[in-house]
Amino acid sequence: MKNEIKKVGLVGWPVKHSLSPALHNACFEKLGLSYRYDLYPVPPENLGKEIEKIKDSLAGFNITIPHKERITDFLDESDSSVSQIGAANCAFGKDGRWTGFNTDVSGFLKALRQDFDPYGENAFVLGAGGAARAVSFALARAAAKKIYIYDIEKEKAEKLAARLKKFFPGGLFFAASDFSAVAKCRLLVNATPVGMEKDEIPIDVKFLYNQLYVFDLVYNRKTLLLREAEERGLKCRNGMDMLIYQAAESFRIWTGIYPPVDEMRKAVGRR
């Protein structure tokens, strides 16, 4: 009798650009696991209605923009990372109960540390949504010296800075009202979706100073931010490795097996 296929997938809006099905399904096939990863586009106004249907039919799922914060309202419990950050990017269902996880934290740090150590360094984070929360908490855990957070909605940046201070009372966290603090930093992280679909840039290019290391979480294309950074001779990285490492941890949570990361790289054309 053929094993029943367990369904997992990605919940977000939009999701059509996602490479997650390719890298997960390649590993399911490689390891002979009866799982299938698909995309579940859910507009923000439909999350409450659609998520219950999704939970009834899936064994686990990832969460991407714009649902990483709201999804916690629909989970039964969360691990310590989600409780601190207030955002989840992975959920696992067992015995009718759903637990939230945040694999973005470890995925981001593992990718960043390949060529930049944030310990004792100042960082400027663009954005204050779910991804920016994970990035900021990751940098705080890695003992970055000062973390500046900029968002077009300044109140969101202020709330994130206050949340960081709550869990890291000795840390130095600031809601930036403009980009001037970039001059004090060695790391710039774009944790917004700006640049994902078209040539937009989340910061004035005059702030791309020569001491900066630029990390853009967007992975599906070479963004204008990265092209401008490279043109100025700055070291930079896109979000592909973060995608792979956070996906590998999600894979482990659902299956109990850590996947072959090289297989994931092959599936998305990174050898």
Give CA–CA dist 100/61, Å, rounded: 10
Write the single-letter amino acid at 131: A
**DSSP-assigned letter for residue 210:** T
The β-bridge partners of 265 are: none
Ramachandran region, residue 10 (left: φ > 0; alpha: ψ -120 to 50; beta: rest)? beta
The β-bridge partners of 213 are: 187, 235
Give CA–CA dist 40/10, Å, rounded: 6
- Select from 133, 139, 169 the least CA-distant residue to 151: 133
Give CA–CA dist 172/31, Å, rounded: 45
Q: Which helix (H) or strand (E) holds 35?
A: strand 35-41
Which of the residues are catalytic? 68
Give CA–CA dist 97/87, Å, rounded: 18
